Chain A
Amino acid sequence: MQPFAWLRASNEGDAVAAGARGARFVAGGTTLVDLMKQGVERPSAVVDIGRVPLARIEATPSGGLRIGALATNTDVAYDANVASRFAVLSQALLSGASPQLRNLATVGGNLLQRTRCPYFRDLGSACNKRAPGRGCDARGGFDRSHAVLGTSDACIATHPSDMCVALVALDAVVLTRGPRGARAIAVRDFHTLPGAHPDVENLLEPGELVTHVELPAQPAGTRSVYSKVRDRESFAFALASAAVVLHMEGGTIRRARVALGGVATKPWRSDEAERELVGKAPRLEVFASAASAAMHGATAGKHNAFKIALAKNVIASALARAAGLA
């Protein structure tokens, strides 16, 4: 750990100003502080945004929800509106981390959560995400936890968030405020593929602060499920997870959202799976072909081929649960 300046902002403007001067935002600190201790993150200044009033969860006029970036994972998971109308988000949050961490971790921090790739977290390993251009020791190494979708030659690191997978499936939107003003970015576009620049993980510009996440209204009767498989029953990252949102009418799937976690370099929305579902009757065979479509083009390394089969089964079982068939 190296010395750093500790600043405190009490409003969005001060936070953005500090960020524009190079300070890193810290809220719950559950990602950033860990990485600073390991020497992976070395900010010269950190600005505590914990007192910026951004922790509210409120209804929007159009029937959705607007969640402040500083709402904790616990607050969101147990919010009555979230639990009843956006169940997949509540389930995703509660499947992650531990109660202690969820009490600290915020929505904004969860959006910006960094990969658990052990090579990224080890200064003795080559990592293009940590030190661009130095190579990737995860490739050809112990890649059991790594991605099979969205990878590049430069990076195979898995995006670790459960929450983001649910947000992608809910068509959520990130609201930001930066030195150049406010903007809205769909969560599915917010995270970027590693490509040749895995050190860039999202569309945020220097100093740009996530202020809210907005959930659009879901049609009445929408059912959603988050399903996650991990190495133990609690407090472990996903080997594969699926967030599914189904809207059915008259025995036909009218609208479907399928998103994957634990298998991709970013929270993964599968248009392919959704195309297989829409207009069809909710049957197990349909779910199986949607699951196959989602994993089409997946590429495995030495130890993570099982994730392709696993993810298909997780998707199919989540769809079956959402449709009431399991």
Chain B
Amino acid sequence: MSAPLVGKPIDRVDAIAKVTGRAQFSGDVKLANVAHAVIVSATISKGRATVDASRARAAPGVLAVVTSENAPRLPHASGKANENGRVLQALQDDHVVYDGQPIALVVAESLEAARHAASLLAIRYDREPGRYRIETADAAPYEPAPMHGRPPWDSKRGDADAALRSAAVRVEQTYTTPLENHNPMETHTTAAAWNGDRLTIYDSTQGIFGVRRRLAGVFEIPEDHVRVVSHFCGGGFGSKGAPWSHVVLAAMAARVARRPVKLVVTRHQMFAFVGHRPRTIQRVSLGASHDGKLVAATHDLLSHTSRFDEFTEPSALVTRMLYACPNVRTSHRLVRLDLSTPTYMRAPGEATGSFALESAIDELAIALDLDPLELRMRNYAKIDLEEHKPWSSKSLDTCYRLAAEKFGWSRRSRPPRSMRDGRWLVGWGMATATYPAHQWKSSALARMHPDGSVLVLAGTQDIGTGTYTVMTQVAATALGVPIEKVTFDLGDTGYPETPLSAGSGTVSSTGSAVDAAARALRSRLVEMARTDARSPLHGVAAADIDAEDGRLVSKHDRSKTDAYADVVARSQKNEIEERAESNEAPDRDKHSCHSFGAQFVEVKVDESLGIVRVSRVVSAFAAGRLLNEKTARSQLLGGIVWGIGLALLEETVRDERTGRLVTRDLSDYHVPTNADVPDVEAILVPERDDWVNPIGAKGIGEIGIVGMGAAIANAVHHATGVRVRDLPIRVDSLLGGAR
């Protein structure tokens, strides 16, 4: 790809549609004769629910009330479609297995009628005792089942425990991160319409093909009888990865009511049955020589999953590869709790794991009386020691240098409590960020019309990241046409199949497919031109033909040109189309592929009031090729802002006695407001990567959040001398001792 390493900061192609409200999110889709469904949530965490629906059924406007007594039997809903699929609760029995679980479905002529009828249900519970905390005597941690294509849960290189025992300097601490919920601005929304045994679904999802597969399986119909559409998605962050129960319930409601049905998950239910980031308890031990060389690292994760399904927050993976340490041992263990199933949430594993590791590194730097950046440089990993592979690319040293310079790190006074601004204590902290570069099989098609316009299609999703925009750029660049000539459409299972929008992998996977399809189309058009006696390029070798500004040009005689439009028009065809699939690049698996970054934070602390303000953030990231400087920066800034939430604000609280949600809305679950976000700078470090995938992009969706937890905690320690090892850092974290 001849594109620059940092692509043009063009505005989003869908910006006008979004700000004028023309963009059709799943809840905006107009369906004739649509009915409205609401899910009724359990208010116990464990037991049985008996629902008397007689009053609700008699309420005005009600079309159907579905409970476990009359729900269509869908045995596949209670199983898993694949390792990353989730076990669903589709009213198949009267068991309640977590707070907020769906126990009834009300379908009515209007949303108001459905909600009113839902309030008329008489629900009787038979409660059973449950386990809601990891730290209980009978918790019995176990090793999760291995996952296909993923690293094992335990790892060992060298003898970390022995090396730790003999290390000159040791840090051994426990760090915890709280349960968190994704809370995208658009709550999960599904509209469903049956036509015989054919189903059309409008869904707010990160993976239309996964939704299609799951619904076909659950309703036992062929996959090609299910069409899933998702033109816009108001954020996903992992919670819209695998379909949850409401997707099946929307289709069930439409079948039972014999009407198209719209179902919007409430904000309260967003905390209940669409996944969460689990709480983690992480034990990290580091051993080092007096000169600051790591000799041992261990990282043991203890987290939780549901009673009926398994998800593991892979927090300890980061410790295997981030530093040059000869002896490393890591493990992941789970406790089964009577809560819903956790799932992937922005930088799953890295965001939580790096908080522990990078806090411990900071503690080690203090124990060694070394600058924390210097300690990291002394342990710079030149290769991936766990995989015994070279990096596909790594510019972390440049990230450290550029971010440190911009931040002014060299002016840091090392002792805690040594910097002030009036009544505020000032702290400077930093941390390393990293995230693996994923690539999955994907496909796309590109079509040239006689007027020179291009239509590019790929299933995929735009979850707010700018997929519409960057795919348009990829296709325009590969074809050599002005960006205005390209229309890229997505979000329909009728289009070429693509993977999830997840794991920072959309550009690397589907971007590679779009690039391949556009190149294939260009080659085809080049071939058509050079073999056509009517073309000025007749007889010119393919290798000697360039494409720019919508025309093919002879490299040796630039006066010889043939416009794409003319090539297509002469063919007498309505369009010329090429499809392409992208797979992993051939030598990719000989390399370890990760993005890296360095994050520097200034905090100001009012000690007597326990207030921590992030006053400055400077980060630098190297993530291979960036397709669009503007959307790339936005994603990185978004990750950083969320990192402020991770460090200082966010926690889903459950009542320890009952397992029930205490935080159920955005009034109690705090995310950063504008006032919490200072000037944030993200330095984009250009980086060439020839191995990771054809377009050389490593992904930027997650890495922005990764180092923020530790960077802020480290800055708070520098400001106050107080080491907070339990996130979030709140007023009570700093005033806790002053009762």
Contacts and interface: CB of A to CB of B under 8 A. Distances in A.
Contacts of A308: 739
B116 A229 contact: no
A1 B116 contact: yes
Interface in B655-684: 655-657, 660, 662-664, 667-668, 670, 672-676
Nearest to B654: A142
A39 B123 CA distance: 15
B20 to A, nearest CB: 20
A128 B524 CA distance: 75
A314 B609 CA distance: 7
A233 B610 contact: no
Nearest to A326: B423
Contacts of A118: 662-664, 668
Given A141-B657, A306-B732, A309-B738, A234 B115 contact: no
Given A1-B119, A236-B670, A122 B664 contact: yes
A2 interface: yes
A233 B613 contact: yes
Which of A124, A234, A300 gathers most chain B CB within 10 Å? Answer: A124
B28 to A, nearest CB: 21
B119 A39 contact: yes
Contacts of B730: 231
Contact of A231 (B654, B656, B670): B670
Interface string A186-225: 0000000000000000000000000000000000000000
Contacts of A236: 670
Which of B649, B657, B735 gathers most chain A CB within 10 Å? Answer: B735
A15 interface: no
Interface in A113-133: 116, 118-119, 121-125
B44 interface: yes
A231 B675 CA distance: 12
Nearest to A237: B667
Interface string B434-455: 0000000000000000000000
Contacts of B664: 118, 121-122
Contacts of A277: none
A140 interface: yes
A137 interface: yes
B139 interface: no
A128 B417 CA distance: 47
A321 to B, nearest CB: 11
Contacts of B736: 306
Contacts of B648: 232
B613 A144 contact: no
B609 A233 contact: no
B116 A309 contact: no
Contact of A124 (B608, B654, B660, B672): B660
A239 interface: yes
A236 B657 CA distance: 26
Nearest to A141: B655
A305 interface: yes
Interface in B141-155: none
Given A142-B662, A236-B670, A313 B119 contact: no
B655 A144 contact: no
A306 B735 contact: yes
A144 B730 CA distance: 12
A137 B44 CA distance: 14
B528 interface: no
B610 A232 contact: no
A317 interface: yes
Given A1-B112, A140-B657, A235 B735 contact: no
B43 interface: yes
A124 B49 CA distance: 13
Given A1-B112, A144-B732, A305-B739, A123 B663 contact: no
B673 A233 contact: yes
Contacts of B663: 118
B6 interface: no
A313 B423 CA distance: 14
Contact of A232 (B653, B656, B672): B672
A266 to B, nearest CB: 21
A310 interface: yes
A3 B676 contact: no
B611 interface: yes
B731 interface: yes
Nearest to B113: A3
Q: Give the interface residue-count category, chain A.
A: 35 or more
Contact of B731 (A39, A235, A306): A306
A284 B111 CA distance: 58
Interface in B714-739: 730-732, 735-736, 738-739
A135 to B, nearest CB: 13
B731 A234 contact: no
Contacts of A2: 116, 119
Interface string A289-313: 0000000000010010110111001
Contacts of B738: 306, 309
Contacts of B608: 313, 316-317
B609 A317 contact: yes
A112 B663 CA distance: 23
B662 A141 contact: yes
A306 B732 CA distance: 6
Contact of B609 (A125, A142, A229, A231): A229
A255 to B, nearest CB: 26
A122 B272 CA distance: 14
B643 to A, nearest CB: 14
Contacts of A142: 653-656, 662
B611 to A, nearest CB: 6
Given A306-B736, A308-B739, A317-B609, A234 B675 contact: yes
A102 to B, nearest CB: 14
A309 B738 CA distance: 6
B181 to A, nearest CB: 15
Contacts of B735: 306, 309-310, 313
Contacts of A121: 664
Interface string B680-722: 0000000000000000000000000000000000000000000
A123 to B, nearest CB: 7
Contacts of B676: 232-234
A46 B36 CA distance: 26
Which of B112, B648, B672, B673 gathers most chain A CB within 10 Å? Answer: B673
Given A39-B119, A306-B739, A308-B739, A232 B668 contact: no
Nearest to B728: A231
Which of B654, B657, B664, B732 gathers most chain A CB within 10 Å? Answer: B732
Contacts of B611: 229
A144 B735 CA distance: 13
B606 to A, nearest CB: 8
A4 to B, nearest CB: 10
Which of A1, A306, A316 gathers most chain B CB within 10 Å? Answer: A306
Given A231-B670, A306-B732, A309-B739, A124 B44 contact: yes
Nearest to B42: A124
A137 B119 CA distance: 22
Contacts of B674: 234
A116 B731 contact: no
Given A124-B660, A125-B660, A141-B656, 11 more contacts: A1-B112, A3-B116, A118-B664, A122-B660, A232-B675, A232-B676, A233-B613, A306-B610, A310-B735, A313-B735, A314-B609
26 contacts: A2-B116, A122-B660, A124-B44, A141-B655, A141-B656, A141-B662, A142-B662, A144-B732, A229-B610, A231-B730, A231-B731, A232-B649, A232-B670, A232-B675, A233-B673, A233-B675, A234-B676, A303-B732, A305-B739, A306-B610, A306-B731, A306-B736, A309-B738, A309-B739, A310-B610, A314-B609
A-B pairs, top 6 by smallest CB distance, nearest first, are: A124-B43, A233-B675, A234-B675, A306-B732, A313-B608, A309-B738
